[in-house]
Chain A
């Protein structure tokens, strides 16, 4: 209270100058000319600046207590002008302290107008860059007070001005943040204690419902997602008229300024806020908005941290309401795609956590302790979606990783050993796999279908749960389909003209041919059994799914499937199978549809004719459910009134085809004939499938796909790269038929010339008679098996005993047409494939992403 008696003439000059800025009349404003004099004095006498500040604040405090707002305003204005004018003055630090004291006094006044004034002045201050650091300055009170203003209550002190107060609070908080981050000595703004006030204050305003309605909508908030908005400091007052808009901006600014080290302190209050305000409850639009804003604002390399925090939060919420967990999972799935590629090394750990949550949820649902099963299911769905979105955001090779990983988590596929809950988990994980698979775009089959992955899929296609079997077929669809044909093939009908289906067919690559050569046996075997297992209750779906897989295989690679078709036909005829007639017919139809499709695709007129003939014979016989032409428009048979009458007269109660109805069946020999006529080697068509419903493994008789596919070199546990097989059409691809020239020797029908064997194949059916003779010969499975083994042995010994160069040379001399350099290139690709197959095909213990050698084409 010193110096209040200031009317003495000996008053110092600075005081007189300060006094002169106040007008005589209490209602008038600042006297600008005198203010200029004061400013000039302050600049030219920096040592007096602190005194000027002290004196002005003292007058301000006095006016405040006497409730003279105009005078108060003058003091504040003067202080602000001096602050700006003297920003490089050596006594600025001391002056700033006075300035802050003034602001604090105003904020303590319990007067909304004064608080506004204080906030504006504080914002002015926060824009000034101080040259010397302020060691002892504390912003605690300002943070406390501005946070309180952010919660201004319309029904209490603030009345209708509560929005103004809240905006002021937000601007004040933003000022504190600006001030602290520009001042290196002030990292403490990021301390938990401050963030615990700042963050909820911002979020509270962001979540406030609009006047119009309840619930959160981001419609009123200007969008700045994507466009990396440089909102820093470039604030325009008119944009920030409402607390909601302003708080959105504050949030982004805060997040943008947070370093990695301070992220935890910022994210944790966000999570806590969502919990307390029940903002996870679906639809969690507010939480999504906030987290998207966060991901867009923070440095992208820190995105994974936010995701990890969300997952940790999910961990801590594992016993909470399903709705909360659904909400968190939904938020996760809506931000992972933005965080996307920046996740990098933590990919698998994040994915693993999600899978773990899925397992936990499955266990919980099965435990019987779960009160709300539908909600739990929704939660699982949300998690699966999150994983799908997650996969979507990643580069393809990481998707493969994720699929391997998922497969590795699928519990015991051996049905005898499986536990109760396993089947359900299987179900959920296959769904997850399907989700991830749909996001993957296959480039090379071998990249995605590694040995163990394919093996697992093949097992999954045949498990007890029909839903899993169906989903597995769908996984095959999405992974095989590289030309978006699947949509046209899911319910493939009998197409008179296949070009109507609008398929995209492209020449298949070498790598794929090699892959198919190696695996087609397993795949077709699986398809055969999948049809046998097809669920009678949902026949069409299951049969169509298999048909779709077949069609895609045909388009994408091959026609070994002819053999499968014949086997399927045989299956449908087999009286030992406990099938309904409907199922038998369904299979017959499927075979017809498939043969029709592939015959047209390989543009084989005689085959097309055969198919059409059989189909129209069936239509005329009128067995219910076997007339494929019924649904075909423009069919000549439909115009024929006889066909419908024939239906009644001749069917005579027959409900399916028997072995005797030769005209109604596709004849293997005729098909072989047609194929051969177009230059394809059809010998293998007559190698029957060994069909054993009781187990997957066969015992060396009949079909030898297990033995003749990967030749296993037991000495070093590695697969020999030959993949040589008995003569067949398995590797004849539709695509290849485009540039097909009718071969005269078997050499040209082989793809892997470099490893071709000097031994002649078992059968070289060059004439129909040869073929017939072979087909009619009694089939001795044991003998066949023996032969196969012999052949395998000879291949192995050839490979083991002859060195590489020699083999190349031998082969070269055998086949003049083959180009050595090409062969070597192919070999390298193949070896690359092998390495990779060995390396990633270990779903049980997935490797670190970086240890995996990826072939160049995987990128």
Chain B
């Protein structure tokens, strides 16, 4: 009875002030919030997008960049399907902190989480301090799944960013689903009489469901 095929959790991280909240607002509500104050702890938004014919629900957890909220924000990494690491192209220090954030992701997030690097505020033109080349290189070296430069102000690449997240996650999920189906079919064919293997597969399926919140 649910009206979506998959639900994914997306977590945004990065230094305070790089524009995470603005990106989420722009995407979910279509507005660039004026006089936005710093996020406290975590913020939550939900948005449904279409990937092909499938409705995909994105749970977006926007975290506070400040050090003092690190413990609450880290706790959201674990169950994330995708982590979007944001820096400000007009702020070199926000780029310099990326290795630190990467370390956090490594220690707290799922090993197979989708990692996306985003350089925000490209609208700032002359004030740019981090060339696109540098950002892209960093993302390649550190095995990010995707790199993109955005602007929450003029909406450059904002929708594209989240569409990419949804598409990539959906494709991954479909692949896994197929594999599970295949596996289950094989298992049923080979040993339909014994209960053991089937039980195991059921268990795998349950786990999968619980971790991806797949609903249909």
Tell whether, in the assembled complex, residue A151 and residue B72 are in contact, meaning their CB atoms are under 8 Å apart: yes
Stretch at the interface among A197-205, A383-391, A752-760: A197-205
Stretch at the interface among B42-50, B158-166, B178-186: B42-50
CB-nearest residue of chain A to B33 = A156
CB-nearest residue of chain A to B43 = A148
Tell whether, in the assembled complex, residue A153 and residue B71 are in contact, meaning their CB atoms are under 8 Å apart: no
Stretch at the interface among A138-146, A437-445, A496-504, A710-718: A138-146
Tell whether, in the assembled complex, residue B1 and residue A200 are in contact, meaning their CB atoms are under 8 Å apart: no
A500 to B69, CA, bound (A): 64
Stretch at the interface among A273-281, A467-475, A650-658, A674-682: A273-281
A399 to B39, CA, bound (A): 51
Those of A1-47 within 8 Å (CB) of chain B: 1-2
In the assembled complex, B210 has its CB within 8 A of some CB on chain A? yes
Those of A124-147 within 8 Å (CB) of chain B: 136, 138, 140-141, 144-145, 147
List, in ascending order, chain B residues with CB within 8 A of A157's CB.
43
In the assembled complex, B36 has its CB within 8 A of some CB on chain A? yes
B36, B71, B78: the one contacting A156 at CB < 8 Å is: B36
- The CB with the most chain B CB atoms within 10 A, among A138, A151, A204, is that of A151
A152, A197, A276: the one contacting B70 at CB < 8 Å is: A276
Those of A455-481 within 8 Å (CB) of chain B: none
List, in ascending order, chain A residues with CB within 8 A of B72's CB.
147, 151, 196-197, 200-201, 204
Those of B74-125 within 8 Å (CB) of chain A: 74-76, 78-79
A341 to B12, CA, bound (A): 48
Tell whether, in the assembled complex, residue B41 and residue A151 are in contact, meaning their CB atoms are under 8 Å apart: yes
List, in ascending order, chain A residues with CB within 8 A of B76's CB.
144, 197
In the assembled complex, A649 has its CB within 8 A of some CB on chain B? no
Q: A49 to nearest B CB, angstroms?
A: 16
In the assembled complex, B199 has its CB within 8 A of some CB on chain A? no
List, in ascending order, chain A residues with CB within 8 A of B40's CB.
151-153
CB-nearest residue of chain A to B209 = A136
Could you give, for residues 25-68 of chain B, a 1 whenever the CB lies within 8 Å of some chain A CB and a 0 otherwise?
00010000100110111111110000000000001010010011
A136 to B210, CA, bound (A): 8
CB-nearest residue of chain A to B74 = A196
A156 to B44, CA, bound (A): 12
Tell whether, in the assembled complex, residue B71 and residue A201 are in contact, meaning their CB atoms are under 8 Å apart: no
- The CB with the most chain A CB atoms within 10 A, among B39, B42, B67, B75, is that of B75
Tell whether, in the assembled complex, residue A145 and residue B44 are in contact, meaning their CB atoms are under 8 Å apart: yes
Tell whether, in the assembled complex, residue B42 and residue A151 are in contact, meaning their CB atoms are under 8 Å apart: yes
CB-nearest residue of chain A to B3 = A1
B46, B71, B78, B206: the one contacting A110 at CB < 8 Å is: B46
A1 to B43, CA, bound (A): 31
CB-nearest residue of chain B to A65 = B3
Instruction: Tell whether A193 pairs with B37 under 8 Å between CB atoms, given A138-B210, A200-B71, A272-B71.
Output: no
CB-nearest residue of chain A to B42 = A148
List, in ascending order, chain A residues with CB within 8 A of B21's CB.
156
In the assembled complex, A694 has its CB within 8 A of some CB on chain B? no
A144 to B63, CA, bound (A): 12
List, in ascending order, chain A residues with CB within 8 A of B59's CB.
108, 141
Tell whether, in the assembled complex, residue A193 and residue B75 are in contact, meaning their CB atoms are under 8 Å apart: yes
Tell whether, in the assembled complex, residue B43 and residue A276 are in contact, meaning their CB atoms are under 8 Å apart: no
A49 to B41, CA, bound (A): 39
List, in ascending order, chain B residues with CB within 8 A of A156's CB.
21, 33, 36-37, 39, 43
CB-nearest residue of chain B to A135 = B206
Tell whether, in the assembled complex, residue A196 and residue B75 are in contact, meaning their CB atoms are under 8 Å apart: yes
CB-nearest residue of chain A to B79 = A140
Q: A682 to nearest B CB, angstroms?
A: 75
B37, B45, B75: the one contacting A197 at CB < 8 Å is: B75
Tell whether, in the assembled complex, residue B41 and residue A276 are in contact, meaning their CB atoms are under 8 Å apart: no
List, in ascending order, chain A residues with CB within 8 A of B44's CB.
110, 144-145, 148
25 contacts between A and B (CB under 8 A): A57-B1, A61-B3, A108-B46, A110-B28, A110-B44, A136-B210, A138-B210, A147-B42, A147-B75, A148-B41, A151-B42, A153-B40, A155-B37, A156-B37, A156-B39, A157-B43, A193-B79, A196-B74, A196-B75, A197-B72, A197-B75, A200-B75, A276-B67, A276-B69, A277-B68
Which 8 residue pairs of A and B lie closest in terms of their CB atoms, listed nearest first? A151-B41, A196-B75, A155-B37, A200-B72, A108-B46, A151-B40, A148-B44, A197-B75
Residues of A near any B CB (own CB < 8 A): 1-2, 54, 57-58, 61, 101, 108, 110, 136, 138, 140-141, 144-145, 147-148, 150-153, 155-157, 193, 196-197, 200-201, 204, 269, 272-273, 276-278
A-B contact sample (14 more), CB < 8 A, given A156-B36, A156-B39, A196-B72: A110-B45, A138-B210, A141-B59, A147-B41, A147-B72, A148-B61, A151-B69, A151-B72, A153-B40, A196-B71, A200-B75, A201-B72, A269-B71, A276-B71
